[in-house]
């Protein structure tokens, strides 16, 4: 398949991402993910998780594979510049973000996050020094990563439209920088969900409630 960034901009999957999102509070995409101190929880092994939670964790495994491939693509830009392989890698990642990560986040928001957050607010189990639960922070991340992905993608597209090569390299460096920030956010977000939020959900939500989510 022959790709170039001009074609990527014609496809512009990030525009479709924004259109799919409900209106939400604005967050600065330049800010790093909110840090929070995870509460002390008994470790819950994967095998002990409800099947619905296991399915979300399985999707995380695929996400990490794609994130790793994108990270390799970004590293190749530092040495080899744009190539057919790097352009394909960029397109593959943002297409996956558009088609899979957004759907995964929405699934979490509409199922586990919605029910668990009610319980956490009732129990007043807030992140240290805030009045936000860990679920609130994860939902904030969903918005921030969308905004950061849009910035990164559009910067890559802008590189091809700048006639001055030195200026184009500055924009390319910024695109890589923002993309790496997105990668770190995604990695940390997945880690927090797997190790904090999902064990909470497994402990606080009944099997019957999780069964409904699994079958919906």
* Rg, C-alpha atoms of the chain: 19
Q: Please provide the CATH number assigned to the domain covering 49-215.
A: 1.20.120.520
199, pLDDT greater than 80: yes
Cα dihedral 42, 116, 216, 15, rounded to 10, equals -110
Q: Confidence class of residue 193 from pLDDT cuts 50, 70 and 90?
A: very high
70, pLDDT greater than 50: yes
Q: How confident is the model at residue 180, as a pLDDT?
A: 96
Q: Are 139 and 33 in contact (CB under 8 A)?
A: no
Q: Are 127 and 137 in contact (CB under 8 A)?
A: yes
Q: What is the pLDDT of residues 10-41, one digit of tens each?
A: 454 445 544 544 444 444 433 444 444 455 45
* In the chain, where the domains are located: 49-215
Q: What is the pLDDT of residues 84-104, one digit of tens each?
A: 888 899 999 999 999 999 999
Q: What is the pLDDT of residues 123-167, one digit of tens each?
A: 999 988 889 999 999 999 999 999 999 999 999 989 878 888 888
Q: How confident is the model at residue 9, as a pLDDT?
A: 46
């Amino acid at each position: 398949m022959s790709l170039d960034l001009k074609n990527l901009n014609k496809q512009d999957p990030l525009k479709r991402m924004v259109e799919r999102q409900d209106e939400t509070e604005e967050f600065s995409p330049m800010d790093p993910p909110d840090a929070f101190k995870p509460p002390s929880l008994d470790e819950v092994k994967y095998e002990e998780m409800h099947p619905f939670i296991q399915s979300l964790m399985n999707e995380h495994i695929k996400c990490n594979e794609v994130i790793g491939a994108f990270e390799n693509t970004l590293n190749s830009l530092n040495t080899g510049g744009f190539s057919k392989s790097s352009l394909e890698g960029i397109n593959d990642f943002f297409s996956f973000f558009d088609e899979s990560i957004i759907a995964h986040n929405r699934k979490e928001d509409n199922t586990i996050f919605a029910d668990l957050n009610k319980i956490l607010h009732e129990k007043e189990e807030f992140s240290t020094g805030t009045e936000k639960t860990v679920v609130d922070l994860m939902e904030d991340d969903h918005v921030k990563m969308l905004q950061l992905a849009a910035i990164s993608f559009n910067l890559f597209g802008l590189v091809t439209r700048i006639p001055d090569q030195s200026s184009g390299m500055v924009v390319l460096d910024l695109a890589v920088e923002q993309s790496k920030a997105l990668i770190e956010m995604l990695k940390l977000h997945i880690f927090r969900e797997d190790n904090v939020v999902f064990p909470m959900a497994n402990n606080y939500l009944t099997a019957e409630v999780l069964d409904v989510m699994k079958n919906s």
